[in-house]
Amino acid sequence: MSGRVEGKVAFITGAARGQGRSHAVRLAEEGADIIAVDLFEDISTVPYPLATKDDMAETIRQVEALGRRILFTKGDVRSLPELQAAVDQGVAEFGKLDIVIAQAGILTMGLDTPQAFMDVVQVNLVGVINAVSAAMPYLQPGASVILTGSTAALLPGTVDAAGAGGLGYAHAKRHVGRLGHDLARVYAGQQIRVNVVHPTNVDTGMMDNEFMYNAFRPDVENPNREDMIPALVTKSPMGVPWLPARDVSEAVLYFASDESRWVTGQQLKLDGGQLGPISNAGVPA
């Protein structure tokens, strides 16, 4: 099937690389135009580099190669005015907004400072609220909002035990799940759907970096990507170290398309069996 989101316009935060780029490209393959933002700066409590303007150029190249349009501006999800400006400009250009993918995020795991906690909550939770707030005035019946949580954040005793930064990540993501649940209920009457995807580890710059190699393989001197993979496999009941970002995009595409037109309030765990029947850590099932 092609054209599953033909003629729709999607707003995506954190689209310069990783899952955000993958979602932009997957939706463009199915006929959507894209309004995108990313930060293009590092954040001092994040122990790996964030996306660059070169990353943005690659996302633009891939979307345009599919014959779709993309308006990509610099925007910090911690700033509502910056997101409003990006969405206003995008709607002025493309005429409407149908899909919101609020997924820009950082991981401050391992840093045990109040600032690490605050930064990750500001980006991963307040940033999601800002993205939805900027988009809502434009959304019409049939629109779809998709938020990105995390299964790791739902697993007690894992990331939440990794310093104040790790706790902030878990805290923010659990609230993203709760936010999706509450927004779905509030906006159902306007025929606007809100769903949450919770991926397990994903093969992106958030995981594929020196900080994470060392976190997962403290027993190896100067560990690399290949060293980390067996450690990730042992944590997955299905033996998958991490998902290709494209696998997450397939779920996002389903929620973005009219195939899911009566589906709202879902917490979809792309978990490789990681959560199983255990606690959802306060996020509605």
Ligand X SMILES: NC(=O)c1ccc[n+]([C@@H]2O[C@H](COP(=O)([O-])OP(=O)(O)OC[C@H]3O[C@@H](n4cnc5c(N)ncnc54)[C@H](O)[C@@H]3O)[C@@H](O)[C@H]2O)c1
Tokens of 30: 């199915």
Min dist. Cβ of residue 124 to ligand X (A) = 6
Min dist. Cβ of residue 246 to ligand X (A) = 12
Q: Pick one of 104, 116, 139, 283: the residue that binds ligand X (CB under 6 A).
A: 104
- Asked whether position 35 contacts ligand X by CB under 6 A, the answer is no
- Asked whether position 5 contacts ligand X by CB under 6 A, the answer is no
Question: 198 has which bridge partners?
Answer: 269
Q: Is the dihedral of CA 63, 86, 104, 275 positive or negative?
A: negative
Q: Which is nearer to ligand X, 91 or 240 (CB)?
A: 240
What binding mask, one character per residue, do residues 54-93 give for ligand X by CB under 6 A, x or -?
Answer: ----------------------xxx---------------
Cα distance between residue 89 and residue 137, in whole Å: 14
Min dist. Cβ of residue 127 to ligand X (A) = 6
Q: Which is nearer to ligand X, 2 or 72 (CB)?
A: 72
* 74 three-class SS: strand
Residues 179-208 close enough to bind ligand X by CB under 6 A: 199, 201-202, 204-207
State the burial class of residue 244 (Cβ atoms within 10 Å of its Cβ: 0-12, 13-18, 19+): middle
Catalytic choice (138, 169, 187, 213): 169
> Is residue 169 annotated as a catalytic residue, yes or no?
yes
Q: Which of 154, 174, 163 is nearest to 108 (CA)?
A: 163
Q: Which of 202, 191, 197, 200 is nearest to 261 (CA)?
A: 191
Q: Which is nearer to ligand X, 73 or 191 (CB)?
A: 73
Min dist. Cβ of residue 256 to ligand X (A) = 16
* 165 three-class SS: helix
- Asked whether position 51 contacts ligand X by CB under 6 A, the answer is yes
Tokens of 115: 């600032």
Q: Which is nearer to ligand X, 106 or 256 (CB)?
A: 106
The answer to whether 211 and 110 have CB atoms below 8 angstroms apart is yes
E strand or H helix at 233, and its extent?
helix 225-234
Residues making contact with ligand X (CB under 6 A): 13-14, 16-20, 37-39, 50-51, 76-78, 103-106, 123-124, 127, 148, 150, 199, 201-202, 204-207
